[in-house]
Amino acid sequence: MRLSRRMRLGLLAVGLVCVIGAAGVLAVLFGVFQPSVVSDAVNQPLTPAEMAQLVPRGRYLTLAADCAACHTAPGGAPYAGGLGFALPVGTLYATNISPDPTYGIGQWSRADFQHAMRDGIGPGHSYLFPAMPYVSYRQMSEGDVDAVYAYLMTRQPIHQASPRDSFPLPYMRLGMAFWNLINLPSRGFVTDAALSPTINRGRYLVDALGHCGECHTPRDISMGMIPGRYLQGATIEGVDAPDITPAGLARLGFDAPTLAQFMRAGLGPQGVTTFSMYEVIEHSTRYLTPADAEAMADYLMQGAPPPVVVTVGAVTPGTEHGRQSYVAVCAGCHGLNGVGVPHVAPAMRTNATLRLPSDRNLMRIMSDGLPAQSFPDGEAMQPMPGFAHLLTHQELVDLAAYLRSTWGGHPPH
Partner 1 sequence: MTIPHRPMSLTVNGKPVGPIDVPNDMMMLDFLHDYLNLTGSRFGCGQGICHACTIILDDPVEGAVEMRTCVTGAHFFAEKRVRTIEGHATRDAKGDILQLTPVQQAFIEHFAFQCGYCTPGFVTGTQVLIERLRKTPIARADVEKTIEQALAPHICRCTGYVRYYEAIRAVILSTPGLVSG
Partner 2 sequence: MNKAKLSRRGFVLGGIAAGVAIRVNFLADGARADVIDNPRDARPAWIGPNGKPRFRMDAVAKVTGDKTFTRDFRAKDMPGWPTAQSNALFIRANRADAAFESLDLSVLGADLQPDRLVLGEELVRDGLMPPDGAVVVAPGFYGDRFLVLKGETPRLLGQPVALLIYHDFPQFAAARRKLRFADVIQWGAKTGYHPPPPYGAGRSIRVGGATPADADLYAPLTGTIVGGTFDAQGVVWPAANASGNAAEKAMAAAETIAAGIENAGPDALVLQRRFYSQSVDASAMEPDNGLVWYQADSGRLHAMIATQSPYEVATATTAMVAISKFKLTAIDLSIGYTVGYGTKDHSIFPYYCMIAGLYGDGRPVRLANDRFEQFQMGLKRHAFWIDNTLVIDRKTQSFEAMKGVFRCDGGGRRNFSPEVGFVGMVAAQGIYYLPRSDFSYEAVASRAVDAGSTRGFGTLQTMSATEIMVDEAAEILGVDAIALRLKNVLRTGMKNSQGAIAGGQLRDDELLVQMQTHPLWTGRAERKAVYEAANPGKRYGIGFAQVHKDFGSVAEGAITTLTLDPTGLLSMRQHGNDMGTGMTTSQAMIVAAVLGRAPESYTFGIVDWPEMPLSDEGTVGTQADQDALAQNPRWTPCFLTSMSSSNSAFFIGHATREAARALLRFSLWPAAVAIWSEGAGGGQFGPLSANADEIRFEDGHLTAGGLEPLSYARLAKVAHERGLITGVSVHSFNRWQFSQAIFDVPTIGTMRLPIDALSLRFGDGAGGFRFIDRQQVFYPEVARMNAGVTYYSGMATLVELAVDTASGQVDLLSHHSLLECGNQIVPELVSGQIQGGLAMGIGHALHEDLPLYEDGPGNGTWNWNRYRLPHGRDVAVWTQTTTVLPPLSETDPPKGMAEVVMIAVVPAIANAVTHAIGKRFYATPITPEQILEALS
Instruction: Point out which residues bind partner 1 (CB under 8 A).
Output: 324, 327-329, 331-333, 336, 341, 344-345, 382-383, 389-390
Q: Is 71 annotated as a binding residue?
A: yes
Q: Which does 328 bind (CB under 5 to 8 A by kind): partner 1, partner 2, none?
A: partner 1
Sequence-distant (≥ 6) Cβ neighbours of residue 101 within 8 angstroms: 107, 157
* Contact between 350 and 338 (Cβ < 8 Å): no
Are residues 286 and 294 in contact, defined by beta-carbon separation less than 8 angstroms? no
User: Which residues does residue 384 pair with via DSSP β-bridges, in sequence order?
Assistant: 370
The one of partner 1, partner 2, none whose footprint includes residue 78, by CB under 5 to 8 A per kind, is partner 2
Shortest distance, position 225 Cβ to partner 1, whole Å: 40
Nearer of residues 72 and 136 to partner 2, judged by Cβ: 72
283 labelled binding-site residue: no
70 is in an annotated binding site: yes
DSSP-derived letter for residue 348 is S
Q: Could you list the beta-strand ranges (E) of 133-250.
A: 234-236, 239-241
Question: Using CA atoms, how far apart are residues 275 and 45, in angstroms rounded to an integer?
Answer: 40
Three-state DSSP class for 338? Answer: coil
CB of 341 to partner 1, least distance (A): 7
The nearest distance, CB 318 to partner 2, in angstroms, is 26
Residue 390 contact, options partner 1, partner 2, none, Cβ 5-8 Å cut-off depending on partner type: partner 1
Q: What length does the chain have? A: 413
Judged by CB, which is closer to partner 1: 86, or 344?
A: 344
Q: How far apart are the first and last CA of the chain?
A: 31
Residues forming contacts to partner 2 in the complex (CB under 8 A) are 59, 68, 72, 75-78, 80, 156, 158-160, 336, 341-344, 378-382
- Residue 153 contact, options partner 1, partner 2, none, Cβ 5-8 Å cut-off depending on partner type: none
- Across 368-401, b (16+ Cβ under 10 Å) vs e yields eebeebebeeeeebeebebbeeebeeebbbbbbb
Contact of residue 389 among partner 2, partner 1, none (CB under 5-8 Å per partner type): partner 1
- DSSP type of residue 225: B
Q: Is 18 annotated as a binding residue?
A: no
Q: Please tell me the chain's helix, strand, coil percentages from 3-state DSSP, rounded to the nearest 5.
A: 50, 10, 45
- What is the C-alpha separation between 301 and 293, in angstroms, rounded? 12
- What CA–CA distance (Å, rounded) separates 350 from 268? 9
Q: Which is nearer to partner 2, 343 or 413 (CB)?
A: 343
- Looking only at the bridges linking them, the beta strands covering 271-272 and 369-370 are unpaired
Smallest distance from partner 1 to CB 319, Å: 15
Q: Which is nearer to partner 1, 52 or 341 (CB)?
A: 341
Answer yes or no: is 212 a known binding residue: yes
Q: At closest approach, how far in Å is the CB of 282 from partner 1?
A: 21
How near is the Cβ of 333 to partner 1 at its closest, in Å? Answer: 5
Q: Of 158 and 295, which CB lies nearer to partner 2 in the complex structure?
A: 158
The least distance separating partner 1 from the CB of residue 354, rounded to whole angstroms, comes to 20
Partner in contact with 324, chosen from partner 2, partner 1, none, beta carbon below 5 to 8 Å by kind: partner 1
Annotated binding site for heme c: 67, 70-71, 212, 215-216, 330, 333-334
